[in-house]
């Protein structure tokens, strides 16, 4: 991660995105003799830890871009796995593409990368289709991680005690508390008289 702008906002460094894409290229090579499901499993294993590391970064647009790029890579794989020329046409028709549009894509002389970005491929293999295949959605995953963290820290005493709300924190665990325990006039029961200490 790196700091972005004068306010010090956390973001994902471009080199980190480049390394991630390089790893995903290895996983999603079209000439690998593995199934699409195995590729998705390997990608999920790598990306789950990666997005957890960057869960605090302000990078929603970067994650959405990486999601779309990976889906396009996997569309390439799925189209190439179809037996030509009838395979792609049959697959597209089975997933909501009209026969005429499917025939146009199947008879096209364009490369797999271009075909994967075609309207026909996006209709047949949309976001819902990839969710059915089990592919992780990075932007959704990051939002869920942050929402889970916000629920944990909503109770200001949760860092001291995992048993719910307490009226006062256990001051005895604070490192400066014993030093003031014997000072006359120092009220240990009044939280307002205690030094300000952040939980972060």
In tens, the pLDDT along 63-105 reads 999 999 999 999 999 999 987 778 999 999 999 999 999 999 9
Question: Looking at residues 163-180, what average pLDDT do you find?
Answer: 48
C-alpha distances out from residue 138 to 4, 23, 43, 49, Å: 21, 16, 11, 11
Give the span between the Cα atoms of 159 and 176, in whole angstroms: 18
CA distance 43 to 57: 21
pLDDT digits (tens, 9 = 90+) for 123-161: 999 999 999 999 999 999 998 988 876 555 444 444 444
Answer whether residue 183 shows pLDDT above 90. Answer: no
Mean pLDDT of 179-186: 48
DSSP 62: H
| Separation of alpha carbons 44 and 62, rounded Å | 17
CA distance 82 to 85: 8
Tens of pLDDT, residue by residue over 105-118, are 988 888 999 999 99
* Apex 10 CA angle, 46 and 141, nearest 5: 40
In Å, how far are 35, 72, 179 from 77, measured between CA atoms? 9, 9, 66
Distance of alpha carbon 104 from alpha carbon 82, whole angstroms: 15
When the pLDDT of each residue in the chain is averaged and rounded to a whole number, the result is 78
Between 11 and 166, the more confident residue is 11
Highest mean pLDDT (candidates 46-55, 146-155, 176-185): 46-55
CA angle 126, 128, 133 (to 5 degrees): 100
Q: What pTM did the predictor assign?
A: 0.70
Does residue 110 come out as left (phi exceeding 0), alpha (psi in the -120 to 50 range) or beta? beta
The mean per-residue pLDDT over the stretch 48-55 comes to: 91
The pLDDT confidence band at residue 168, using thresholds 50, 70 and 90, is: low
């Amino acid at each position: 991660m790196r700091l972005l702008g004068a306010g010090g906002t956390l973001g994902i460094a471009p080199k980190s995105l480049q390394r991630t894409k390089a790893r995903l290229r290895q996983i999603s090579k079209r000439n690998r003799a593995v199934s699409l499901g195995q590729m998705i499993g390997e990608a999920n294993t790598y990306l789950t830890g990666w997005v957890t590391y960057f869960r605090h970064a302000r990078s929603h647009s970067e994650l959405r871009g990486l999601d779309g790029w990976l889906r396009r890579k996997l569309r390439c794989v799925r189209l190439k796995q179809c037996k030509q020329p009838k395979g792609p046409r049959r697959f597209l028709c089975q997933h909501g593409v009209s026969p005429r549009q499917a025939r146009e894509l199947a008879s096209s002389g364009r490369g797999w990368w271009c075909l994967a970005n075609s309207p026909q491929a996006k209709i047949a293999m949309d976001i819902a289709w990839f969710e059915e295949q089990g592919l992780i959605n990075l932007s959704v995953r990051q939002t869920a991680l942050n929402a889970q963290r916000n629920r944990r820290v909503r109770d200001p005493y949760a860092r001291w005690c995992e048993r719910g709300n307490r009226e006062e924190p256990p001051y005895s665990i604070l490192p400066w508390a014993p030093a003031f325990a014997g000072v006359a006039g120092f009220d240990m029961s009044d939280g307002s008289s205690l030094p300000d200490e952040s939980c972060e």
